[in-house]
Amino acid sequence: MVVKFSRPIEASYAPVVKGLGKYLSDAKPGADGRSVTFTLKDDFGVRSFDMGAAVIIDLLDKEQAAPTSVSAAPKDAPPVNIRAAEHKDYTRIVFDWPSAPPYAVRRNGGDVVISFTRPGRVDLKALKTKPPKFILGASSEAKDAGPSVTLKIAETSEIRHSLSGAKVVVDVMPPGTLNPAAAPKPDTAAPASASADNAAASETKAPEAAASEVKTQSASTAAPPAKAGKPQALTPPPTPEAAEKATAEAATKPATGGAVPAAKVTVAPVQGEGEGEGDVIAVRFDWDEPVAAAVFRRADNLWVVFDKQTKVDAATLRTSAGNIFHGIEQIPSERATVLRINTVAGVNPGLKRDGLAWIFEFRKRPLQARQPIEVKAQHDSPVGARLFIPVAEPGNAVVVKDPEVGDAIVVVPVIPLGYGVFQAYEYPQARILMSSQGVAIQPKIDELRILPLRQGIEVTGAGGMYLSPVTASSAADATLGAMQPLTRALDLEKWSKDGPDKFTAVRQSLQKATSPESNPKSESARLDLARFFFANGYAAETIGIMDLLEKEKPDIINNPEFRVLRGASRYLMGRYPEAKTDLEDLSLVGNDEGTFWLSAVKAGEGDLAGAASGLRSTGAIIQPYPKALKMPLSMLVAEAAIEVGDVKQADRFLKAIETEKPTPAQQGQMNYLAGRLLELNGEFDGAVGKWEESQGSPHRPSRAKAAVSRAELLLKTEKITRAEAIKELEKLRFAWRGDDFEFKLLRRLGHLYMEENDFRNGLRTLRQLVTNFRKHEKAPEVAQEMVDAFHRLYIGGEADRMLPVTAIALYDEFKELTPAGAKGDEMVQKLAERLVNVDLLDRGAELLKAQVNFRLKDKEKARVGAKLAMVHILERKFDDAIKVLDDVDMPGLDPEMVDQRRHIRAHALVGLERRDEAVELLKEDKSIEADLLRTDIFWNDKNWPKAAQSIRQLAKAFDARPNTPLDEKQSTYILNEAIALALSNNERGLDRLRIDYITAMDATPLKDAFRLIASPQTIGLIDYETIAAKVTDVKNFQTFMATYLERMKSKTIGGG
């Protein structure tokens, strides 16, 4: 049995296994930190449900359990044997049927559904008793058509399936093997028939089938949806919008300045989960920086709010959504994007993230958050009664006016995915709405104040918040709770000795007592010596004595005091895995002191938020501890309380240790925490002052953390610029190294550099981070951020703002970030086009050559090969151009590509002085490009009659007609035709041309030149050399090749 959570979990499973020995034989945490595998002793039933913050799992005896492992099926249905085999890089599941069955595979995130359309009895015992690796769970369902099996796997695991004879084979790869760019759309099915070839083919046809289904469903509506596979852009060019008129005050986080980001909005259909579900669409918002979002319902309308502003083409979005949206409106806002959508009843969005993009998948489903955001009523916070909503990374508060209800709502979008309010909260001065993402607050008074802080959202009123008073019974309960003693394993009060003389004397006395010769009870004396060392902060010495005791008397490990002493000492030494081994021992079940130290270990491992509950509930255990332990542990409890917004407890612990005469280093730590507490209370100036005091302390970690917090707060309040913040943080690179502080510092620096458009330093910083912290759990996230930034640069167009030499230098430095596949090819080709368009031909050719030689195949290779050949033409490397065309020649090319290749080859032949071959190659070609090439050949060969004929064809192709106004290009061709006719002594043709075009040419800058050349007296009196002297604008003289090059660059390389 596998239990998987959506966030990391740290727990002791030994008590569970011991207490449920009848049912369980083992429990192992998953490698992802978010799951646990329980080994069942038999095929027990399982039932689960949640109750608030608790998840309840019932194990049912066979007589109680429903037959869940064997699907209900007709009695005469054949049995389907299921086998599982674990391999090094995948787990294989085999369904053995009597004969080859029709089947289909559908994936929705971490759920893989294999549906069979033939009766059969499926037995999942092999998968449920002890699930193989990469399989998190399995269930089956009997349907009229046949059974279906659902496998639960990691969302990032790739799957493959095939039919081998009568066996259906499903392979599940490890987490992290699924390429996000190639990931299947949720709920898309790949049907398979009884042949292996059909099974493979069906995988590629599934998206088309899905698109067809969606299109058919919405064909009867007035507004058809977008076609599958072709997302429709919905973002028009930005235009000024009406100023926002807030009707409620919102104290928001100050903007950091800079350009307003624009979101590219696209919509595309995806396949639904079941029949009759109706249209299912995905709306994608691609942002160029992290943007917070909020989603909630009000008055039958769905609201989507981002804390950055962009313009959305609401009409096109409504049209593209088909019958899913009845209406959509963008509510004016100067600082946010606010959409109010009227959907089909029951249709709500599921939220996903892809890099910086937000994806909303609309289908029939309840509107519900994945992770609950709790609203806490705090009666006696430092700012008085308030509501506090703890959530990481809240965005700017946005005031929006509801045009239907007529009142105002204050919305605070958040960045973490799926964090919303599970249920509505009612208070006299405000109502907190239910949401699936972010927080929406309906003020009931004009003076309501909403303040997003780093740790959460504070809601206060000008005259204080009216919260429900504490009742007599709850006050009594609180008193009883405070009076209830905490269970302890240690008694340390008598072992703390102040002053070196006392310490040395006691130590020598205890050490002497440990000698077996002088003391028969040396074991007890050793334990006293360990207590003494621990109480005075000597953790290494304590561990040494405890290990010796275990060696001499192995059963001492069952002593709770032994486990706490050694586990706590290991924690103080930073040996967290070893500490957990001691502190998770069954002897400490229900022991508050063991719980406290285990929570401290979790905090030491970096999960302070996860440890906060245990630290706060058992924090009073350290009250009698000696100063050497009490000081650091009190600060740990205070920090945990700050992390979850518990101002009162944090303040109480900090004040308690002020009387302990802290050392300068300890005072520095306390000042850092005091600054965080002041920031939480909105006292920003006081927070900066405390952090500046901490920066002067001898405690290096606190100095570094205080400097970061100070810079971040000054940046948030616009007291310093982003560039100044970068300068401040750069000073800290070597202030404290090797732990999570350096990881977070480098990550933040990289982001700030890129926000300043300094991508080189940003990527360099993130590369250093990934290199130095290869094993950090979030290193893959940072690596993906680098790939996303590279994508924005060279696919999104941000590199177009750089100098070309800078763009190519940056690409060369970080080209390992080029993604594999079509996206990477597009990136390289775009960069090559830009280099060619600014005449950096050799570098552009180098990039395209690598594409042709090493990355591309088939028709795409031929297409890019034509680009490369055209670049060689521009380089005047005509032999290279012909060689490339020969190397990538292949049958089956489309007519347009065949024409392009012919024109490029003809141009190369002209460049090699092989004009006759070029003319013969173009003999049957009637295109403009062919006429331009022929004209250039005839002109340079002084074959004036044929030149005149070709130019006449060009003039017609560009729509030059007699007695009709001419544009610059048309008038140029008419003049050049006149020159060719004059030089060929074609008096009749020149007369005809003069009659047809003299009036139109008189209206152009070339009138004098045309009258001179087309005059009857010109025939036989001038030659080619004298014409150039007569025609003032010589640039109009030979423009055939320039026009040809312009057209061919646009077709093959991309215009510049």
Q: Residues 178-192: pLDDT tens digits?
A: 765 445 544 444 444
Whether residue 543 has pLDDT greater than 60: yes
pLDDT at 28: 84
Please report where in the chains the tokens 């031909």 appear, as a residue: 841
When pLDDT is averaged across residues 96-112 and rounded to a whole number, the result is 86
- pLDDT digit string, tens, across residues 942-975: 888 988 988 898 888 888 999 899 998 888 889 8
pLDDT at 294: 96
pLDDT at 197: 35
Whether residue 578 has pLDDT greater than 90: yes
Strands laid side by side in the 91-96 sheet? 121-122, 79-86, 91-96, 167-172, 159-164
Q: How many CA atoms lie within 13 A of 449 on its CB side?
A: 15
pLDDT at 121: 85
Categorize the per-residue pLDDT at 1036 as very low, low, confident or very high, splitting at 50, 70 and 90: very low
Q: Which two tokens stand for residue 445?
A: 């008074």
In the chain, % of residues over pLDDT 90: 20
When pLDDT is averaged across residues 654-658 and rounded to a whole number, the result is 86
CA distance linking residue 922 with residue 704, whole number of Å? 73
pLDDT at 254: 39
Q: Which one, of 358, 351, 352, 159, lies nearest residue 263 by Cα?
A: 358
When pLDDT is averaged across residues 28-46 and rounded to a whole number, the result is 79
Residue type for 973, please?
Y
Q: Which one, of 649, 577, 665, lies nearest residue 613 by Cα?
A: 649
pLDDT at 1018: 55
Categorize the per-residue pLDDT at 776 as very low, low, confident or very high, splitting at 50, 70 and 90: confident
pLDDT at 290: 86
Lowest-pLDDT range, 386-400, 459-473, 475-489, 764-778? 475-489
Categorize the per-residue pLDDT at 569 as very low, low, confident or very high, splitting at 50, 70 and 90: very high
- pLDDT digit string, tens, across residues 863-909: 888 888 888 888 888 888 888 888 888 888 888 888 888 888 888 89
pLDDT at 419: 92
Strands laid side by side in the 2-4 sheet? 2-4, 35-40, 24-29
> Greater confidence, 578 or 1?
578
Query: What architecture does CATH give domain 232-364?
Result: Sandwich (2.60)
> Greater confidence, 254 or 843?
843
pLDDT at 214: 27
Range(s) of the chain covered by CATH 2.60.40.3500: 79-175
Lowest-pLDDT range, 7-11, 480-484, 590-594? 480-484
Mapping DSSP onto H, E and C, the string for 640-701 reads HHHHCCCHHHHHHHHHHHHCCCCCHHHHHHHHHHHHHHHHHCCCHHHHHHHHHHHHCCCCHH
In the chain, % of residues over pLDDT 70: 80
pLDDT at 255: 38
Q: Which one, of 686, 687, 706, lies nearest residue 695 by Cα?
A: 706
Whether residue 1027 has pLDDT greater than 70: no
- Decide if 847 contacts 833 (C-beta within 8 A): no
When pLDDT is averaged across residues 928-947 and rounded to a whole number, the result is 86
Lowest-pLDDT range, 115-124, 203-212, 310-319? 203-212
Whether residue 360 has pLDDT greater than 90: yes
Categorize the per-residue pLDDT at 6 as very low, low, confident or very high, splitting at 50, 70 and 90: low
pLDDT at 271: 53
> Greater confidence, 257 or 555?
555
- pLDDT digit string, tens, across residues 782-794: 999 998 888 888 8
pLDDT at 279: 65
> Greater confidence, 609 or 218?
609
Query: What architecture does CATH give domain 79-175?
Result: Sandwich (2.60)
pLDDT at 206: 32
When pLDDT is averaged across residues 678-685 and rounded to a whole number, the result is 89
Measured N-to-C along each axis, helices 895-911 and 878-887 cross at an angle, to the nearest 10 degrees, of 150
Number of Cβ within 10 Å of residue 479's Cβ equals 10
DSSP string, 211-248: HHHHHHHTTTSSSPPPPTT-PEE--PPP---PPP--SS
CA distance linking residue 558 with residue 589, whole number of Å? 12
- Decide if 868 contacts 845 (C-beta within 8 A): yes
Whether residue 9 has pLDDT greater than 90: no
- Decide if 530 contacts 565 (C-beta within 8 A): yes
pLDDT at 655: 87
pLDDT at 203: 34
Categorize the per-residue pLDDT at 62 as very low, low, confident or very high, splitting at 50, 70 and 90: low
Lowest-pLDDT range, 6-15, 367-376, 402-411, 989-998? 6-15
Q: Which one, of 92, 91, 95, 50, lies nearest residue 71 by Cα?
A: 95
Whether residue 856 has pLDDT greater than 80: no
pLDDT at 1051: 57
Residue type for 66, please?
A
Mapping DSSP onto H, E and C, the string for 425-479 reads EECCCEEECCEEEEEEEEECCCCEEEEECCCEEEEEECCCCCCCCCCHHHHHHHH
Mean pLDDT (the chain, rounded): 79
CA distance linking residue 889 with residue 902, whole number of Å? 11
When pLDDT is averaged across residues 370-378 and rounded to a whole number, the result is 86
Q: Which two tokens stand for residue 552?
A: 């001499």
Whether residue 917 has pLDDT greater than 60: yes
